[in-house]
Amino acid sequence: PKLGLGVVGGAAGGWLTGDVVPEVAEVELRFADGSTRRLKPTERFVLAPVGWDGPRRLKEVIGFDSNGGRIARQQFRPPPPR
């Protein structure tokens, strides 16, 4: 996969972390409330705080190439309740 991302941390949230392929120049985090956040990987690595609860819950990450074209998508589901 072009996006090899995961979330580590507790049930309320944690850190989005992982590697992307060299073609991914930027990623966009998309949240349940419709908001977004764009990040540029550092040496193919992504690290960002994210939440699992409420409107700021991480729903998906989109990968873009250097021309702004969408080349990858990874969806996220919240962990099951304990």
User: How far apart, in whole angstroms, are the C-alpha atoms of residue 70 and residue 82?
Assistant: 35
Whole-prediction pTM? 0.89
Specify the DSSP element, H or E, that contains 31.
Answer: strand 26-31
pLDDT in tens, 21-65: 999 999 999 999 999 999 999 999 999 999 877 778 899 999 999
Give the whole-angstrom CA distance, residue 31 versus residue 54: 10
How many angstroms separate the Cα of 55 from the Cα of each of 10, 19, 43, 81?
17, 26, 30, 17
